[in-house]
Amino acid sequence: MVQEVVTVFLLGHITGDFYLQSSSLAEKKEKSGKTLVLHGVLYLISVAGVSIIVFGTELLIWCIGISAIHLMLDFIKICVKNKFGSCEGEKISAYI
């Protein structure tokens, strides 16, 4: 069961972070809080959508928690890039 849950969340993550996030959205989310929240909502829809298809609503609270953590990590990465500059910030935020 654990392996299936991890696989579903990973598939939702890949879908939300790479397929539903255009290059334009990725750039804009670093400059606009509203766009960052939009990315978070798209990510939640992606993770929850995949999870609901496989498990029903059983893991929905986990989807919300994972999406909230993802949004916080994206915010921290943006703050690091802004504080240390784009090039150095990229290197540091790769570890976040």
**pLDDT value for 89:** 63
Residues of the chain with pLDDT under 50: none
**pLDDT value for 60:** 95
> What is the rounded CA–CA span in Å between residue 6 and residue 77?
24
Long-range contacts from 82-89, C-beta under 8 angstroms, 24+ separation: none
Question: Model confidence over 12-37: pLDDT tens digits?
Answer: 999 999 998 999 998 899 899 999 99
Q: Is the Cα dihedral 41, 42, 43, 46 positive or negative?
A: positive
Domain ranges, ordered by start, for the chain: 2-93
